Each structure stands twice: as C-alpha cells, then as structure tokens.
Amino acid sequence: MPGLAAPLIAWYRDAARDLPWRREGFGAWGTLVSEFMLQQTPVTRVIPHLEAWLARWPSPTDLAASPPGDAVTQWANLGYPRRALWLHRAAVEIRDRHDGVVPRDVDALLALTGIGDYTARAVAVFAYGDRHPVVDTNTRRVLARAVEGRAQPGPPHRRDLERMDAELPDGIAEAAVVNAAAMELGAIVCTARSPKCAVCPLADLCAWRAAGYPESEDRRRRQATYEGSDRQARGAVLKTLRDAAPSPVPLFAVLPDWPDAAQRDRAIDSLVSDGLAEAIDDVLRLPGHPAS
DNA sequence: TAAGCGTGGAT
DNA sequence: TATCCAAGCTT
C-alpha cells in the first residue's frame, strides 16, 4: 500500500470538525450513545438529541432504571426507534453483566444488543483508545475509491476490516486518528454525491481519480418509496404514542383517519411484535417496565 | 444474503 | 418533484 495514513493524519489535524464526542473526556457512555444515534442518522440531527439524552441519563444505570418507553419518547424523531429500545436493552445488559461500566473488549461489546462490527470497534477505539480497524460507510467509500479505484464500495463485508487494518500505522494513537480521519474524509470530502477532489489530501494517490473516475455499475436496489409505505404508518402510530406519553391511547383513537385501515392495523401489530408498543385491553402505549 | 427498518435535508 | 443519502443492525 502506498499508505493513506500519513496524508490522512496531516489533513485531519486541520480539517476535523469540532464534534461533542471528540471532546476530551467525553466518556465511554457518551460515545456509545452517540454511536447508536449516528447509526443512519446525520451528525447535525444527532447533536442536540445526544446532549439532552446524556443530561437525562448520565450513565447506563440511569437509563436502565427508566422504562424502555421513556427511551423511545426521548428518542423523538431521530428515526429507526428500535435503536432506542436496543440502547435501553444494552444499558440493562451493561448494568447486569458489567457492573454498569461500558465494556472495553470488542467481543463483550458485540454481545450487547444493537451493537455490531462498526459500533463495537468505534467504542473500543474512540472511547478507550485501543487499536482496531473501524469501518463505516464513509471509510468503505474512501477505500473503494482511493485503493480500489471504484466509484462506490460493494456491500459491507468482514474483509473490509482486514483491508482497513492494513492501512493502520503501528502506533495506537496514530491508528485511532487514521480511523477517525478516514471516516471524516468520507463524510465531508469524499462524499457519495459530489466528492471535493480539489481539496482531497489523497488526490495524488487516489486510484479512482487516476483511472479517470469510472462509474461503478451499481446494482444497488433503490430505496423503497416512503410515502404510503408500512414504514410511514409505523412512524405515524409511534408518533401518536410519543406525543401522548406517558398516557396510553385508546385503540380507536390511533390514526382514525388513516387512509388504509388494514395498513394501520398491520403497523400496530408489528410495533407490538417488535416491543415498541404494548396493547393492553383496548389501549396502546409505549413499553413500560418489564413485569419481572 | 437480502430485506426491513424512520426521518428530514440536499440536489 | 422525486430520489438520494445519512458514523448500521437484526433476522
């Protein structure tokens, strides 16, 4: 490898955004919460919700002591509300299995609900300073372009971890910076739509640029239309429950004017099935404390 | 392995 | 306006 590390480190020193989770002493819990929120939600939308969340629940034990429905309400409109449920479950698991301390070991992190290859290593590296490859969608795009000469990365693969690991310097601190810098470059320079190659620190060694920016035959399937979808119905039902919380909502009052009643009922059933709602007698509510 | 899962801003 | 895209995860 020609080595992405040196130019990435130099660039990051000047170009890195000032983000809350990069502040000194932000803490492993804050890092974990931020990573949950950042799973598919843009940075600018996450920041205010993150600060409110940590003010309300400064530790995993604090969150674990609240009913999961409170987490869903606090999650507000961040999207993918099952993440709120998973974050709550992870907090309970941290309390019960790790004495309330966010684990440092990658395998222990992977065993927590809602944590996968990316989030586990992000916590281990950015919160605890360990040396692992951290690969998110930004990093995969940077590697695809700079190293492979392709416009877009293929689907996520475990091999991505090894390929990123090969780019990391030996030094632990330097490796962490390269991880962060690759993500940051993908987020603000090597972007999916209009990459800013004129200001890219990797331009001189970029295989995609050298090859003349070939298009990639993208067999990505199109994102399903949201308008009129079951997902939209689920979102609308859940918003009704959040807005009413902590009060339950009579079933007859859940989206009474929804254009497709069968779809609405399907949405309610699936939310209950997912644990995002509870149907008791003839009312619907967010999940409360487990019975045990 | 692929599908399903929210929401809002940018183009 | 419609589509794309966003620090992924689970089943």
* pLDDT tens digits, A203-213: 999 999 999 99
A259 pLDDT above the threshold of 60: yes
Considering the domain architecture, whether residues A181 and A268 belong to the same structural domain is answered as no
pLDDT(A10) > 80: yes
A292 in a domain, yes or no?
Answer: no
**Domain co-membership, A162 together with A269:** no
Residues A80-105 have a mean pLDDT of 98
Q: What is the pLDDT of residue A25?
A: 87
Q: Give chain C positions with protein CB within 7 A.
A: 3-10
- Protein residue closest to C11, using CA and C1': A274
Closest alpha carbon to C1' of B2, residue: A221
Rounded CA separation A141/A184 (Å): 11
Q: What is the pLDDT of residue A218?
A: 67
Return the closest nucleotide (C1') to the Cα of A233. Answer: B6
- Is A59 in contact with A100 (CB distance < 8 Å)? yes
Q: Is A280 helix (H, G, I), strand (E, B) or coil?
A: strand
Is residue A290 one of the residues assigned to a domain? no
SS3 of residue A255 by DSSP: coil
Domain match, A37 and A99 both:
yes
Question: Within this chain, do residues A216 and A84 fall inside the same structural domain, yes or no?
Answer: yes
Same domain, A148 and A234: no
- Do A275 and A177 sit in the same domain of this protein? no
Has A35 been annotated as catalytic?
yes
Confidence of residue A286 (pLDDT cuts 50, 70, 90): very high
Residue numbers of the domain that contains A271 = 230-285
Tell if A76 CB is < 7 Å from nucleic strand B: no
pLDDT band, very low/low/confident/very high, at A219 (cuts 50, 70, 90)? low
Cα distance between residue A35 and residue A39, in whole Å: 6
Residue A217: what pLDDT? 74
Same domain, A106 and A251: no
More confident residue, A290 or A140: A140
**Tokens 């004495």 appear where?**
A99
Cβ–Cβ < 8 Å for A143, A208: no
Same domain, A214 and A248: no
Q: A12-70 pLDDT, tens per residue?
A: 999 999 999 999 989 999 999 999 999 999 999 999 999 999 999 999 999 999 999 99
Residues A234, A173 share a domain: no
Predicted pLDDT of residue A222: 81
Boundary of a domain, candidates A171, A196, A220: A220
A235 and A129 in a common domain: no
Strand nucleotide closest to residue A276 (CA to C1'): B5
Q: A275 and A165 in one domain? A: no
Coil, strand or helix at A3 = coil
Q: What is the tally of structural domains in chain A?
A: 2
Q: How far is CA A52 from CA A26, A34, A61, A72, A196, in A?
A: 14, 12, 17, 13, 33
Q: Which of A198, A220, A242 is the last residue of a domain?
A: A220
Q: pLDDT-based confidence at A1, cuts 50/70/90?
A: very low
Q: Burial code of A196-231, b = ≥16 C-beta within 10 A, e = fewer?
A: eeeebbbbebbebbeeeeeebeeeeeeeeeeeeeee
Number of helices (H), then strands (E), belonging to chain A: the values are: 14, 3
How much is the pLDDT for A289? Answer: 80
Average per-residue pLDDT for chain A: 96
Report if CB A256 to strand B is under 7 Å: no
In a domain, A225, yes or no: no
